[in-house]
Amino acid sequence: MPAQPGPIDELHGLDVAGLRAQLPGWTTPKVIRGLAAQWPMVAAAQQSPAAAATYLKGFDHGQMPVTATTAPPHEHGRVFYDADMRGFNFRREQVPLKVVLNTLLKYATDPAPPSIYVASTTLDSFLPGFNQANPLDLGVADPLTSIWIGNRSRIAAHQDVPDNLAVVAAGRRRVTLFPPEQVGNLYVGPLDFTPAGQAVSLVDFAAPDLARFPRFADALAQGRVAELAPGDAVFIPSLWWHHMEGLDAFNVLVNTWWRPVPAWMDSPMNALMLAILALRDLPPAQRAHWQALFDHYVFQAGDHTSRHVPAHAQGVLGPLDADSAARVREVLQRRLQR
């Protein structure tokens, strides 16, 4: 029997003001019990799924359809690839949000319903006023708040570049987290052919095949898990792997995403993809040479990297800002268009 994940560190009695004060120093996951317990959305959800759906409908302007992901009952909520990984086990369709909510209620008592899942949907665009009625001011720059609505679901372990605070607004959730360095033990699938934009673990957490994925046992030993009730929140730091499960027939999750860096910075994933293209298949000795350059200019960069160069001549070695970043981007675009 492999080792099981330990608990995520928990905080109790922390209000939003206290969270704002502590959040900038966090680099590991935290569960904040009852953070959003006073939300009207949470109060509606505690009455019934129907009350929660009615509450959401009150913010729906009905002018834009949402993207609903559906999968047949035999997938048991797993949003994943198909059997030979040439496609996926679900389909997507554009439907009004009210139709999604009514369909979820229709299947709420069905023991084997189809999976219905509205993934990351921007709140201000689709449910204007929800954020104001259910406030969570984290004091972070340029936050993006989104909502996830569905029935029982299993979202394969993946990672996101932004930091993330996820609030359970209806139903119960189980979240299983792994440090970024567990990437080699999670058996991650393709980077450029993914179910929802992020590379995912190929391990079925409900029935892990340790003969096929033996190192997953090592990942489990380093994992952390928590079950969240309505009003609870979890902080997921950048690049921590997270496996998300909706445990009830009606689930709502509200995420706030942010990056504590200037808006002009590109996603590091772009650099990873380009490094695979340009570096991965070099002869080993050349890869080692490039590793030394990356250490010098990126991973161990500091004042020593450029202080011997006059400030006016440093170019990309000097401090970057929005203008200089735009010039670098233009150079890269020209070089890639060959």
Tens-place pLDDT, residues 140-169 = 999 999 999 999 999 999 999 999 999 999
Whether residue 273 sits in one domain with residue 200? no
Residues 158, 115 within the same domain = yes
Q: What is the mean pLDDT of the chain?
A: 95
Q: What are 198-238's pLDDT values in tens digits? A: 999 999 999 999 999 999 999 999 999 999 999 999 999 99
Are residues 94 and 180 located together in one domain of the fold? yes
- Which residue intervals of the chain are DSSP H helices? 16-22, 40-47, 49-57, 97-106, 123-126, 130-133, 216-222, 268-278, 284-294, 303-306, 322-336
Determine, yes or no, domain membership for 1: no
Q: Let me know if residue 299 belongs to a domain.
A: yes
pLDDT above 90: residue 255: yes
Collapsing DSSP to helix, strand or coil, 199 comes out as coil
Average pLDDT, stretch 233-261?
A: 97
Whether 121 shows a pLDDT value over 70: the answer reads yes
pLDDT higher than threshold 90 for residue 337 = no
Q: Find the DSSP H helices in 127-267.
A: 130-133, 216-222
Q: Residue 252: give the domain boundaries.
A: 6-258
Domain match, 198 and 278 both: no
Do both 91 and 51 map to the same domain? yes
- Pair 64, 209 in one domain: yes
Distance separating alpha carbons of residues 242 and 176, to the nearest angstrom:
6
pLDDT of the residue at 198: 93
Band (pLDDT 50/70/90 cuts) for residue 2 is confident
Please check whether residue 125 lies inside any domain of the structure: yes
Residues 93 and 146 in one domain: yes
Where does the pLDDT of residue 338 fall: very low under 50, low under 70, confident under 90, or very high at 90 and above? confident
Where is the domain boundary, 258, 283, 313?
258
Distance of CA 185 to the CA centre of its chain: 19
Helix (H) or strand (E) holding 235: strand 233-236
281 and 212 in a single domain? The answer is no
35-53 per-position pLDDT tens digit:
999 999 999 999 999 999 9
Q: Are 161 and 238 in contact (CB under 8 A)?
A: yes
| Domain contains 263 | no
The pLDDT assigned to 3 comes to: 82
86-90, 212-216, 264-268: which has the minimum mean pLDDT? 264-268
Whether 222 maps to a domain, the answer reads yes
For 273-301, how does the pLDDT look when each residue is reduced to its tens digit (9 = 90+)? Answer: 999 999 999 999 999 999 999 999 999 99
1 pLDDT more than 70: no
| Number of domains into which the chain is organized | 2
Q: What integer pLDDT is reported at residue 302 of this predicted model? A: 93
Say what the pLDDT of residue 6 is. 97
Domain's final residue, options 209, 239, 258: 258
Cβ(200)–Cβ(206) below 8 Å: no
Provide the 8-state DSSP code for 113.
P
**DSSP letter, residue 81:** B
Is residue 253 domain-shared with residue 107, that is, in the same domain? yes
Residues 143 and 213 in one domain: yes
CATH of the domain at 61: 2.60.120.650
Strands 78-79 and 153-158: parallel
Residues 6+ apart with CB under 8 A from 92: 67, 68, 69, 70
> Residues with Cβ < 8 Å from 255, sequence gap 6 or more?
120, 145, 146, 147, 148, 164, 165, 166, 167
